[in-house]
């Protein structure tokens, strides 16, 4: 994936504060994403603290990329992550969402017969 890769330490578990700091996300966003993306299932310590596995952190990193870098909605990101084909690879890095929209509109205009 052509995103800015954050080096995730090789640890068994990460506390919510560590994940927040690593990925630059507020803790309330991580808690909210747990409700929106069922694959994020942190374990709980005996005191109730969330403990994320490395694969959870990697998955959250993908969500962050889709929402913050690519401009997906939550439902769009959910659909993308469920998709068998990884079309994230196909999106050029240099194309912003507005540029992509303009290009698609130009293609539509070329395909629409003129009166």
| Interatomic CA distance for residues 59 and 100, integer angstroms | 25
The DSSP string of 19-43 is HHHHHT--HHHHHHHHHH-TT---E
- Find out whether 16 and 49 touch, Cβ atoms under 8 Å: yes
Q: What pTM value is reported for the model?
A: 0.67
Instruction: Give the bridge partners for 43, in sequence order.
Output: 51
CATH 1.10.1660.10 assigned to domain 14-111? The reply is yes
pLDDT digits (tens, 9 = 90+) for 89-98: 555 555 567 7
pLDDT digits (tens, 9 = 90+) for 14-55: 999 999 999 999 999 999 999 999 999 999 999 999 999 999
């Amino acid at each position: 994936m052509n995103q800015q890769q954050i080096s995730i330490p090789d640890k068994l578990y990460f506390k919510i504060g560590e994940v927040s700091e690593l990925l630059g996300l507020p803790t309330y966003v991580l808690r909210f994403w747990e409700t929106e993306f069922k694959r994020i299932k942190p374990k709980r310590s005996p005191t109730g603290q969330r403990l994320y596995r490395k694969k959870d952190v990697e998955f959250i990193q993908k969500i962050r990329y889709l929402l913050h870098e690519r401009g997906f909605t939550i439902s769009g990101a959910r659909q993308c992550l469920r998709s068998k084909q990884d079309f994230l690879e196909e999106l050029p890095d240099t194309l912003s969402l507005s540029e992509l929209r303009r290009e698609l509109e130009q293609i539509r205009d070329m395909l629409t017969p003129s009166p």
